[in-house]
Amino acid sequence: LLGSTKRLNINYQDSDGFSALHHAALTGTTELLCLLLEAQATVDIKDINGMRPLHYAAWQGKADSVLLLLRAGASVNSTSNDGQMPLHLSAQYGHHEVSEMLLQHQSNPCLMNKGKKTPLDLACEFGRLKVAQLLLSSNMVAALLEGEGGHDIMDSPSTTPLHLAARNGHKDVIKLLLKAGIDINRGTKAGTCLHEAALYGKTEVVRLLLDAGINVNVRNTYNQTALDMVNQFTTSTASREIKQLLREASCSLQVRAVKDYWNLHDPTALNLRAGDVVMVLEQLSEGRWKGHIHDSQRGTDRVGFFPPSVVEVLSRRAG
C-alpha cells in the first residue's frame, strides 16, 4: 500500500486518534515503523489522550522502536494529557534499556506527571530496582533526594520515592535509596515513610527502617506518630507485630505502678492497678506522663496520661 501510486493519508487517525505509527510503535513492528517514517509519517502525532508513538513504544519496552523514533526526531520530553513523558512509562513498567536510551537522549528525570510523580517515584512505587538504580545515577536526581525546601511540613511534597517504596513493601528499593543518601526522616503531611509502612502493614519494612535509625517520634500534620496511626486505623495480624516493634523502639522508659491510680473525671487518664507495667511514650512539660499498657491476654492496648508519682522506673533504654 505504501508503495502504491495512490495518494494515501499516512497520518490517518481513527476515532481514538490512533494512527498507523501508533500501532507500529505499540506492537514493536520495526519494519512497518521504518516504512511509515520513510513515507513521512508525523513522528509526534498525538492520540486523544495526548500519547505519541514514543509513549507506546516506551510503555511496551520496545527498545528498537524507541531508537527508531528518537532518530526520526521524536520529542523525548513531550507529555500526554495526564503529564506522562515516555520515561514515566518505561520507569513504571521496569524497562531498563528503554529508560537508559531516553536518558541518553536528554529525557528529564525530574519532571512530574499530573499525579505529582517523577519517573523515580514510579520506579520506586512499583519496585523497579534496576530502573531506580539507573535514575539515581543521573546528576539531575540529586535535588529530588535532598527534597528541596528543607523540612517545613507545609512545603512538603505529597510523597517521596522512599514513602512510595515503603508503602508498597519494596525493601531492596528502600536500601538503595538510603544508600544514595535520601533523608530517612523526610516528612510529608501524612508523616515519614515509617508512617506509610506501618499504616499499610509492611512489617519487614518497619523493621528495616527502625534498624536504619528512623525517628519513631516524628508526628504528621495531624499530630500522630506512626504508632498512633496504627493504633487508630488498623486491626490486622501484621499491625499487632508492627505495634510491638514501634512500642519497643519508642519507649526509652519502662515503669511499674506502685499503687492504683484512677481518675474517672479525665477521659484521657490511664487507669492503673498496682503492679501494671507501663511503657512511657512521652514525658510532658506540665508534669504528666503519657503511657501505654499492652494486655497480652486480652490482646488490647490502652494509652493515656498518669502522674509519675504513682510509678517506679524499671528500665531505661538508650535513645
pTM of the model: 0.77
Higher pLDDT, 258 or 213: 258
User: What pLDDT score does 58 carry?
Assistant: 98
Q: State the average pLDDT over residues 19-42.
A: 95
User: What pLDDT score does 226 carry?
Assistant: 93
* DSSP secondary structure, 237-285, as one string: HHHHHHHHHHHHHH-SEEEEESS-B--TT-TTB--B-TT-EEEEEEE-T
pLDDT tens-digit map of 57-111:
999 999 999 999 999 999 999 999 999 999 999 999 999 999 999 999 999 999 9
pLDDT tens-digit map of 103-159:
999 999 999 999 999 999 999 999 999 999 999 998 778 766 765 434 444 455 688
Contact call for residues 108 and 150 (beta carbons, < 8 A)? no
Q: For the chain, give the mean pLDDT.
A: 89
User: What pLDDT score does 285 carry?
Assistant: 67
Question: If 0-12 CB within 10 Å is exposed, 13-18 middle and 19+ buried, where does residue 280 land?
Answer: buried
pLDDT at 3 over 60: no
Pick from 290, 295, 230: nearest CA to 255: 290
Flag the least confident range among 45-49, 164-168, 231-235.
231-235
Q: Which domains does the chain have, with CATH numbers?
A: 10-146 (1.25.40.20), 178-250 (1.25.40.20), 254-316 (2.30.30.40)
Contact call for residues 266 and 243 (beta carbons, < 8 A)? no
pLDDT at 269 over 90: yes
Distance CA(315)–CA(311), nearest Å, equals 12
pLDDT tens-digit map of 285-309:
677 888 888 877 777 788 999 998 8
